């Protein structure tokens, strides 16, 4: 856990020989739940409805092979913790991004039902300007069924998912790889999404450099091979 710059720099130094993948997103977008689901841990990351629960840069060593870094959440929909984000957490996040040479890429978690705020758009523009590859994770995919007037209508859920996905990508000006994700392990699509996201992370680790990861994701996006990984 790295709540200050001094502790952060020490953490980066101690894990410099290992590849890093970081996870970012707005508070309550499902970032911590995704980490726990992805790693099969029930309380590794702090899942909560309280905005700003992750208050530091948390580095987690996984299988002695890769560091998964949980970043503080961007301010939530109702503007909670905005001052803390601007004054402390955002500078810490970008210190990590710019100083961690072994950072291969970012998984950005966005609730598929949410419109994209200007703050999120600006944040991702800044991240991409650093050269860090971004993979978009559209979370809470299973919640879409509650938005349907007739959930039993053939193809209705798929059509809604496609519409929301296109809205998010268009708002972000995002042309990269995205993954629909649900943390409900009872659903086959959730288990499939978990396997797919783990394969992306594994492929990034195998590539071993930020430039190669950027090319990998660009090639997948250009060829439309999202489901082939």
DSSP 8-state assignment for residue 62? E
d(CA 93, CA 57): 7
Question: Please, are residues 154 and 145 in contact by the beta-carbon 8 Å criterion?
Answer: no
CATH number for the domain that contains residue 211: 3.40.50.300
Q: Quick one: tokens of 41?
A: 């841990």
Angle between helices 90-99 and 5-14 (to 10 degrees): 30
Q: How far is CA 75 from the centre of its chain?
A: 15
d(CA 78, CA 75): 8
Query: What confidence tens digit (pLDDT) does each residue in 111-165 have?
Result: 999 999 999 999 999 999 999 999 999 999 888 877 665 655 557 788 888 999 9
Query: What confidence tens digit (pLDDT) does each residue in 18-69 have?
Result: 999 999 999 889 998 999 999 887 544 443 333 344 568 999 999 889 999 9
Number of domains observed in the structure of the chain: 1
Range of the domain at 104: 5-228
Question: Please, are residues 185 and 191 in contact by the beta-carbon 8 Å criterion?
Answer: yes
Kindly report whether the global pTM for this prediction surpasses the value 0.95. no
């Amino acid at each position: 856990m790295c709540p200050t710059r001094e502790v952060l720099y020490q953490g980066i130094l101690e894990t410099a020989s290992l590849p890093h993948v970081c996870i970012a997103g707005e508070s309550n977008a499902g970032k911590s739940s995704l980490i726990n689901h992805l790693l099969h841990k029930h309380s590794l990351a702090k899942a909560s409805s309280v905005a700003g629960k992750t208050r530091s840069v948390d580095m987690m060593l996984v299988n002695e092979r890769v560091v998964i870094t949980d970043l503080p959440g961007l301010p939530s929909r109702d503007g909670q913790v905005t001052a803390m984000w601007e004054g402390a957490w955002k500078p810490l996040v970008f210190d990590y991004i710019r100083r961690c040479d072994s950072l291969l890429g970012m998984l950005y978690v966005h609730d598929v039902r949410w419109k994209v705020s200007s703050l999120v758009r600006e944040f991702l523009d800044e991240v991409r300007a650093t050269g860090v590859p971004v993979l978009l994770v559209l979370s809470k995919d299973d919640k879409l069924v509650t938005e349907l007037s007739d959930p039993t209508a053939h193809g209705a859920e798929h059509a809604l998912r496609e519409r929301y996905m296109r809205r998010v990508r268009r708002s972000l000006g995002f042309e990269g790889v995205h993954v629909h994700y649900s943390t409900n392990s009872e659903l086959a699509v959730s288990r499939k999404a978990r396997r797919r996201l783990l394969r992306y992370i594994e492929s990034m680790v195998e590539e071993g450099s930020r430039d190669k990861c950027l090319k990998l994701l660009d090639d997948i996006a250009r060829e439309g091979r999202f489901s082939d990984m």
